[in-house]
Amino acid sequence: MTELLSPTRDGILRAAALLTAGELVAFGTETVYGLGGDATNPQAVAAIFAAKERPRFNPLICHYPSAEAAFAHVEADARARLAAARFWPGPLTLVLRRAPHCPVALLTGAGLDTLAVRVPANPVATALLRAVGRPIAGPSANRSGRVSPTTAAHVLDGLDGRIAAVLDSGPCPVGVESTVLDLSGADPVMLRPGGVTLEDLQACLGSVRSAPPPAAAGAGEALRSPGMLSSHYAPACPVRLNAASAAADEGLLAFGTPLPGAAATFQLSVAGDTAEAAARLFDGLRSLDRVAGLRGIAVMPIPDAGLGRAINDRLRRAAAPR
């Protein structure tokens, strides 16, 4: 039922025609696949929430082909322009105040007076965004709360029959979602760690505060980034973090020399490289989840710096009580 489109001129034009008509099309970015819909069309945006079964209080990111196009819809200050010049196109999302005549549907931003904007680094996505000529709202193309998709096949696993098409641009090279940086207040706050590291943001902007992890966040912080619900990215199997040993009925998500004794092992990076591990993380969770008869997934420790912060954030939420 869902069309699989190749990343050719015809495939891109077909995807653009469907989006313009208010249909939903998943598309690859450098981070994960997005579930795209016309951000200026409230019916299309409502259909995104329905297809994902996503709570309506969780706002969506708008995707643009260029910083110029994005900054026509939000109020970009000097900090935003600096971050855009350094990291766009790329895995950074900026939360800024909506511009006075912003055409993006209010539902896209869940009614907030801010909007999350991003310019993805994927030539097929850029060609699609240019062909549509409107911002595309795009949450990750998975059912709400489940593991994010890094291939077209992952998208179809969760959404086949629920969306019009998937534009297949191959596996996503970064593998974890964009970093969400809130620049709507006096001080920059990183709401979600992702493909751009906190260290890189600080080198560009000076002091950047990291919002506390969801478990520690009070009601105020939780509201500030409504997507930071504790349980998320959840495979069907229970997940156990910082494993020092693996049981015979567990799957092992390995980082470096694998622990012995697991029923099945998925290696994130034998060399201990966090970029490689990020690119393989969601595929690893999905692969182990498909192994029959496992009691759970044990995850070896991953250093909590650089891209490791984004990996550990996703893993903590995969392991959170459901």
Q: Between residues 61 and 246, which has the closer beta carbon with respect to Mg ion?
A: 61
Work out what residue 214 binds among Mg ion, ligand TXA, none; the CB cut-off runs from 5 to 8 Å by kind.
none
Q: Does 140 bind Mg ion (CB under 5 A)?
A: yes
**Quick one: CA torsion of 276, 307, 220, 143, rounded to 10 degrees?**
-10
Among 112, 117, 147, 279, which residue interacts with ligand TXA (rule: CB under 6 A)?
112
Among 90, 139, 149, 235, which residue interacts with ligand TXA (rule: CB under 6 A)?
139
Q: Between residues 184 and 265, which has the closer beta carbon with respect to ligand TXA?
A: 184
End-to-end Cα, the chain, rounded Å: 31
Closest CA to 94 of 188, 25, 175: 188
Farthest-apart Cα atoms in the chain, separation? 60
Q: Does 95 bind ligand TXA (CB under 6 A)?
A: yes
Please give the distance of CA 122 from its chain centroid, rounded to a whole number: 14
Contact (CB, 8 A) for 302 and 256: no
Among 191, 254, 268, 281, which residue interacts with ligand TXA (rule: CB under 6 A)?
191
Cα angle for residues 103, 106, 111 (degrees, 5° grid): 145
Sheet strand arrangement including 296-299: 239-240, 296-299, 250-255, 264-269
**Total chain residues near ligand TXA (CB under 6 A):** 30
Among 18, 94, 180, 198, which residue interacts with ligand TXA (rule: CB under 6 A)?
180
Q: Between residues 96 and 262, which has the closer beta carbon with respect to ligand TXA?
A: 96
Please report how close the Cβ of residue 58 comes to Mg ion at its closest, in angstroms. 9
Q: Does 116 bind ligand TXA (CB under 6 A)?
A: yes
Cα torsion 304, 91, 269, 228: sign: positive
Instruction: Summarize as ranges the residues that interact with Mg ion (CB under 5 A).
Output: 140
- Interface with ligand TXA by CB under 6 A: which residues? 29, 31-32, 34, 58-61, 91, 93, 95, 109, 112, 114-116, 118, 120, 138-140, 177-178, 180, 191-192, 225-228
